[in-house]
Amino acid sequence: MTNTALKKAEQGFSGKADRQTFRGGDGWLDPKAGDVKTRKEFGSLMARLRTDLAVQLDRPSLAPVGVKKHEMTYNWYEPGASLGRHLDEHHEETKGSKGWLLPTRRSVTWLVYLNDRWSTTEGGSLRTFPRQKLARIPVGAHSKNLQVGWLDEFHPVFLDAFRSSGGSALYTLEDDGRAQETKQTFISAHDFDVPRQPIEFEKFLSSKYQRGRFEQISTARLDHRFVNKDNGGSATTISFAGVVRNEQSKQVEHHMDILPAGGTLVLFDSVSLPHSVNAVTGSRQRLAATGWFHEDNQELPVACHN
């Protein structure tokens, strides 16, 4: 299920058309289910990878073992199955009253493909929608404020939900990778309350940053909790990857496909990268181990009492 805003019965879920999943937790270590020894060895390898990423990505809260710090699943796609375009994580403030209940959130998505000699004619490639050019600042999060969009195609926009006003604000950073408060550029016209779903951040921008400069990562094409101008029915819209998408010419926006060849490890930021899985066109099941490394959530401010 890629759209949690809808009930399962409303999503048209089908065992033949959608991903099948064996989840982690107690089931992952069940000695009666498959090869538990190999799963334990694999789990140890992924734990070391998580520790390395905590250092290399400067995301220290990835490393400590704690409550829900790592999701591990095994999934497969029957012939004809696919997965719609989606994001793996969203800003807590966009999730409504449930957004701040969990101690951690998805930070890094990982996939390890398990099919031997998989060919392009069998389909099932992971389709990602990255920027065509990278900004020189971190994407996904800054000071635990999660990214919600892009400015001028390549500069991440973050949402600070804990302003002194009690509201929220949108900001970007200078390209030094270690920007402090004084180097933030706030692009919203004023502090605002994040509205109930569906959400459209563009209407809170100051006039300087409107007129097509801002792209919201999540829109109704990904999740009904969000809206944006690319769903307004116009002939020409701006895509997630900064490519003009003309509905009449059906121009394809910038994307990168990864073939699910056995032994391939894929890692990407859970917040900032939209992705999908192309339909399996061959006769074999598409097999993969997948999961998410978690960072600590931003803590709610503690109210002061006299």
pLDDT tens column, 164-191? 999 999 999 976 545 444 478 999 999 9
| Cβ-proximal residues to 60 (8 Å cutoff; 6+ apart), any chain | 54
Q: How many domains does the chain have?
A: 2
Are both 94 and 31 inside the same structural domain? Answer: yes
Contact 287, 115 (CB under 8 A): yes
Domain boundary among 246, 264, 282: 246
Q: Does 239 lie in the same domain as 171?
A: yes
Question: Residue 192: how many CA atoms within 13 Å on its side-chain side?
Answer: 20
Same-domain pairing of 236 and 270: no
Select the highest-mean-pLDDT range: 81-85, 239-243, 249-253, 282-286.
Answer: 282-286
Structure tokens at 117: 């000699």
Let me know if residue 7 belongs to a domain.
no
Encode pLDDT of 256-293 as tens digits: 999 999 999 999 999 999 999 999 999 999 999 999 99
Let me know: does 111 contact 266? Beta carbons within 8 Å: yes
Predicted confidence (pLDDT) per residue in 284-298, tens digit? 999 999 999 999 988
- Looking at this protein, which amino acid is placed at residue 204? F
Tokens 């065992």 appear where?
15
**Within a domain: residue 30?**
yes
The conformation of residue 7, written as its DSSP 8-state character, comes to -
Query: Is the CA virtual torsion 21, 25, 27, 29 positive or negative?
Result: positive
Task: Answer yes or no: is 304 within a domain.
Answer: no
pLDDT value at residue 289: 93
126 and 274 housed in the same domain: yes
The CATH number covering residue 86 comes to 2.60.120.620
Q: What is the pLDDT of residue 227?
A: 58
**Residues 110, 30 share a domain:** yes
Q: Give a yes or no: residue 306 inside a domain.
A: no
- pLDDT at res. 145: 94
More reliable by pLDDT, 21 or 171? 171
**Is the same domain home to 211 and 282?**
no
Please state, in angstroms and as integers, the Cα–Cα distance from residue 133 to each residue in 50, 68, 161, 217, following that order: 26, 33, 28, 16
pLDDT digits (tens, 9 = 90+) for 103-162: 899 999 999 999 999 999 999 999 999 998 877 788 999 989 999 999 998 999 999 999
User: How far, in Å, are 132, 166, 201, 249 from residue 303 at the CA level?
Assistant: 43, 12, 27, 54
Which two structure tokens, joined as six digits, stand for 250? 């059906």
Would you state the structure tokens that stand for residue 20, as one six-digit string? 């099948």
Q: Which of 3-7, 114-118, 243-247 has the highest mean pLDDT?
A: 114-118
Q: Residue 2: inside a domain, yes or no?
A: no
Task: Identify whether 303 is part of a domain.
Answer: no
Mean pLDDT (whole number) for 21-29? 69
**Judgement on whether residues 219 and 124 belong to the same structural domain of the protein:** no
Given a cut of 50, whether residue 236 has pLDDT beyond it is: no
Look at residue 279 and tell me if it is in a domain: yes
Residues 122 and 35 in one domain: yes
The pLDDT assigned to 225 comes to 58
Same domain, 79 and 156: no
Residues 168 and 147 in one domain: yes
Question: Tokens standing for 168?
Answer: 């929220």
State in Å, rounded, how far the first CA of the chain is from the last one.
47
Q: Which residue has the tokens 């409504």?
A: 96
pLDDT at 247: 42
Structural domain of 46? 18-130+255-296
> In terms of domains, do 222 and 171 share one?
yes
Would residue 160 count as lying in a domain?
Answer: yes
CB 79 within 8 A of CB 283: yes
Please tell me the predicted confidence (pLDDT) of residue 240: 34
Residue 245 reports pLDDT greater than 90? no
Render pLDDT for 49-87 as a digit per residue (tens, 0 to 9).
Answer: 999 999 999 999 998 877 778 888 889 999 999 988 889
Q: Chain-wide mean pLDDT for the chain?
A: 81
Pairwise CA distance, residues 161 & 141, whole Å: 13
Tell me how far apart the alpha carbons of residues 217 and 200 are, in angstroms, rounded to a whole number: 10
pTM to 2 decimals? 0.82
Structure tokens at 167: 């509201």
Phi and psi torsions of 85, nearest 5°? -65, 135
Structure tokens at 21: 């999943």
